[in-house]
Copies of this chain bind each other. A is one copy, B any other.
Amino acid sequence: MPTYLDQNKERFLSELLDWLRIPSVSADPKFQGDVLKAADFLKARLEEAGVENVELCQTAGYPIVYGDKIIDPSLPTVLVYGHYDVQPADPYELWTSPPFEPVIKDEKIYARGACDDKGQVYMHVKAFEMMSQDGGVPCNVKFMIEGEEEVGSSNLSIFVKANKEKLKADVILISDTGMLSNDVPSIEVGLRGLSYHEVEVTGPNRDLHSGIYGGAVPNPINVLCKMIASLHDENNHITVAGFYDNVDELSAEERAEMAKAPHSDEEFKKSIGLKDIHGEKGYSTIERTSIRPTLDVNGIWGGYTGEGAKTVIASKAYAKISMRLVPHQTSAEITQKFQQHFEKIAPQGVTVKVTPHHGGEPVVTPTDSVAYQAAAKAIETTYGKKPVPTRGGGSIPIVAMFKSELGLDTVLLGFGLDSDAIHSPNEHFGVFNFLKGIETIPHFYRNYAAASK
């Protein structure tokens, strides 16, 4: 007999595609109307799925979509978090199909937000619908889906602090991460934190002719390059003063355990076209992307960047520089250390301005909790294999905030893959993964309700 999921999967996909058509880019004010439209769309779908008390909770920024279904106060309560905003889609010219005209090709949904995070949020909406229609929802459920995750969730913590009673729950459930592969299911139990800065270097007070002035003025681009170059030493250790002071160094045993996860440097290189692996001396690729902090320039600009040649010495040069943090670094600590360090290494002739953007705390979630075990068992049921616990490289800053504000642990039940190209051109999400998510989530609820009795 075909399941409810079998019978409805075409409609589920079609609804998701409709949502992906709305370019909810929170970073760029020109998409403001679309971000709001994406929130309205979600509100309507939650109501249709049977969620109650659905509302747009206003914030100083984009609204938080809240809704709940309280079956019985004696049952455990799951708070589902996700986000309906997406990363900017540029460079548009590198997309093989337009980012906001979703298409399904080779069993994958191609669109900005397909995986991060609209596709994964929509699994929860449809899993809820499925439970309501097909056997009942076994826990109380609350949804809290925000519109500012990609710009730092700066209004979420204000909302959480002001609504602790409303958000009371037993566990947080988030699908905004990935698995090792469809053959090696996994659950992330650690996330790196983030410290993000925009830096500005000013040399002369106006753009200058490089012939007349070249050689006698500090060129802010050359200076910025020199400053950035100095942030790593010859072993790719980060040179920011005090950067490693609080880094949690894993034991030899823990590292040996990590090394058992399936990984091939050859396949890693091949998957992203690298000629050679790269990173901090003394650590493996998996360690470099999970238990070690990093520093990367995310953007740089200055001077003439148009066609042809312009012989100019720019007045200013800019870069966006971010650091991924690990336990027990804190975003505030590293932000301060970076700022101090970057200002200190500036040569005398230039002025440096460091503007911190949002940050996020690194976090490790427990694997011995009832909720984690419920999630692991759900995956084992639908994938046929026990999931591997992994430490992820990305940051979901709000996980640490939920712990401190609500006292709740999080289960990161993510169905994406590294190859989904989130934050990149041609982001996609496997149809298999989308449907597997919808199938797996109800098992989590059932396992969790049963174990909480």
Q: Which residues of A contact B (CB under 8 A)?
A: 27-29, 87-88, 90-91, 94, 150-152, 178, 192, 194, 196, 203-219, 221-222, 224-226, 228-232, 268, 272-280, 285, 288-289, 292-294, 296-314, 317-320, 322, 324, 347-351, 357-358, 392-395, 418, 421-426
Give 23 pairs: A residue, B residue, CB < 8 Å, sorted on A: A27-B310, A28-B307, A28-B308, A152-B309, A203-B274, A205-B272, A205-B273, A206-B425, A209-B394, A210-B294, A210-B324, A211-B395, A212-B392, A218-B276, A218-B278, A219-B297, A221-B319, A225-B297, A275-B349, A299-B304, A301-B301, A309-B357, A309-B358
**Bound form: Cα–Cα A307–B224 in Å:** 20
Known: A288-B215, A299-B302. Contact between A204 and B274, CB under 8 A?
Answer: yes
Q: How many copies does the complex hold?
A: 2
Choose among B88, B178, B304, B426 the residue that contacts A298 (Cβ–Cβ < 8 A).
B304
Known: A27-B309, A299-B310. 14 other contacts (CB 8 A): A90-B306, A91-B207, A192-B211, A196-B309, A206-B273, A206-B426, A212-B422, A215-B280, A221-B228, A221-B298, A298-B309, A300-B301, A303-B320, A309-B357
Residues of chain B lying within 8 A (CB to CB) of residue A285:
216
**Bound form: Cα–Cα A208–B280 in Å:** 18
Residues of chain B lying within 8 A (CB to CB) of residue A151:
308-309
Residues of chain B lying within 8 A (CB to CB) of residue A229:
222, 225-226, 228-230
User: Is A298 a contact of B278 with CB atoms below 8 Å?
Assistant: no
Residues of chain B lying within 8 A (CB to CB) of residue A275:
348-351
Residues of chain B lying within 8 A (CB to CB) of residue A292:
215
